[in-house]
Amino acid sequence: MIFFFGKKKKKEEIVVGVDKDNVFGTMSPKGGVGKTSITVEVAFIIAQKDYRVGLVDWDLWSPRLTSRLLGSSEGPGLLELLLGEADPEDVIKEVSFTTSEGKVVRVHLVAASDKDALVRGEVKRLARELEDHYDKIKERAVALINYLATTHDIVFNDYPVPSGPAPAPFHRVAASATHWLNIVIDAVPTTAEYAARYVEMFYPSLPVYMVFVNMIKPVHYEYRAAVAKAPELCKKFAAKYVVFVPFDGKLYDVKVSGAAPPASVNYKPTESAALKVLRDAAMRLIRRDKPMGCVALHLKVL
Ligand SMILES: Nc1ncnc2c1ncn2[C@@H]1O[C@H](COP(=O)(O)OP(=O)(O)OP(=O)(O)O)[C@@H](O)[C@H]1O
Ligand SMILES: [Mg+2]
């Protein structure tokens, strides 16, 4: 662990949609960087410690969190809630996996929608509704998150990529439904630039808690070079933490259909380099540690 002193945001700049500070939204500027995987692993690491964890799949256009945890979904989800067709209590589903030691680990998931609704083009209807009833939809989203935040120890929102088909008002609704922003990037320098631009565009006033640099090539000089960028990333995002996660075959989810258990359920942190770092990050997330300046979390291979 290394400490850095970062740029402090002025207090009046921090305007958050959700007061309770146990709500995190995960964004990344490009697809496939590991946003959903990191959200899932961190959530299940925390759930294994018997905390109540809530997850919300905001990616109505490519609901990978839903398919990853449920295989396929039935019944109302976030889409129906935003359209005013379901209440918070109706959209929360329990998802459980059993560890190799026989412990049942549970989280609560708000799935994107039921599969049929996605096929029926209801997502397009939401895009139209956002034009006419933006405030009402935002109110429903914030009500759902406030409900989850008071009934759970921690809540994670998994957001769609800003460069995808989700319209701008949808991103603004999503941004108002979190307290903190977590950012997932890879070690390619332009990804951090894109992330900074999208944060400015869609999440301008949210405080950044963690920046995850994911899928770093698991060779020493690549990992060392990535970690050397910590002060720069701390400053760029005014983050509390920058977390360096190596590419790790144990996190690679090759299942194309059906629910796939998280690596943290199948493996111990000692068996996986990525889980080792993510466990450290997860424990700080649940405690909401607020270090002075900015802290880099990484493997001790330097
Ligand atoms: N640290 C890692 N090591 C190995 N594989 C990883 C790692 N992180 C993510 N992956 C794999 O990379 C792929 C993409 O990850 P994921 O679906 O989490 O990305 P995403 O950013 O959520 O993508 P999308 O834009 O589709 O939402 C998955 O197959 C996942 O298992
Ligand atoms: Mg995803």
Closest CA to 300 of 278, 273, 282, 275: 273
99-139 tens-digit pLDDT: 989 999 999 999 999 877 777 889 999 999 999 999 999 99
Confirm or reject: Cβ of 258 under 6 Å from ligand 1.
no
pLDDT tens-digit series, residues 263-286: 999 999 999 999 999 999 999 999
- Residue 100: per-residue pLDDT: 86
Given the CA of residue 254, which atom of ligand 1 is nearest to it?
Answer: 29
CA-based nearest residue to 178, from 134, 145, 137, 135: 145
What span, in angstroms and rounded, lies between the C-alpha atoms of 92 and 89? 6
Work out the burial of residue 169: count CB atoms within 10 Å of its CB; fewer than 13 is exposed, 13-18 middle, 19 or more buried: middle
Output the CA 35–ligand 2 centroid distance in Å.
5
* Cα–Cα distance for residue pair 34/28, rounded to 1 Å: 8
Locate the domains of the chain by residue range: 2-297
Per residue in 38-86, pLDDT (tens digit) is 999 999 999 999 999 999 999 999 999 999 999 877 899 999 999 999 9
Q: Looking at residue 4, what is its pLDDT?
A: 58
Buried/exposed 234-270: b ≥16 CB within 10 Å, e otherwise: bebbebbbbbbbbbbeebeeeeeeeebbbbbbbbebe
260 CB near ligand 1 (under 6 Å): no
C-alpha 8 to ligand 1 mean position (Å): 31
**Residue 13: per-residue pLDDT:** 37
Would the pLDDT of 12 be above 60?
Answer: no
pLDDT number for residue 255: 66
Query: Domain 2-297, what fold?
Result: Rossmann fold (3.40.50)
pLDDT at residue number 16: 54
Ligand 1 centroid from CA 38, angstroms: 8
Name, in order, each residue with C-beta under 8 angstroms of 214's C-beta and a sequence gap of 6 or more. 33, 34, 37, 38, 184, 185, 186, 245
Ligand 1, atom 29: nearest CA belongs to which residue?
253
Please give the pLDDT value at position 111.
95
Mutate to test the pocket of ligand 1, among 33, 37, 213 (most ligand atoms within 8 A of CB): 37
Confidence at residue 125, expressed as pLDDT on a 0 to 100 scale: 93
Q: Is the pLDDT assigned to residue 167 strictly greater than 80?
A: yes
Confidence check: pLDDT of 243 > 90? yes
- The residue length of the chain stands at 302
pLDDT in tens, 150-159: 999 999 999 9
User: For residue 238, how far is its CA from the centre of ligand 2 (angstroms)?
Assistant: 24
User: Ligand 1 atom 11: the closest Cα is on which residue?
Assistant: 252
Alpha carbon nearest to ligand 1 atom 25, residue: 31
Instruction: Provide mean pLDDT across the span 194-200.
Output: 96
In this prediction, residue 11 carries a pLDDT of: 41
- pLDDT for residue 14: 39
Is any ligand 1 atom within 6 A of the Cβ of residue 252?
Answer: yes
Separation of 40 CA from ligand 2 center, angstroms?
10
Percent of the chain at pLDDT exceeding 70: 92
Is any atom of ligand 1 closer than 6 Å to the C-beta of 248? Answer: yes
Ligand 1 atom closest to the Cα of residue 245 is 1
Please say if the pLDDT value at position 5 is more than 60.
no
Measured in angstroms, how far is the CA atom of residue 186 from the centroid of ligand 1?
Answer: 11
Q: Across the chain, what does the average pLDDT equal?
A: 92
Residue 294 · residue 241 · CB < 8 Å: yes
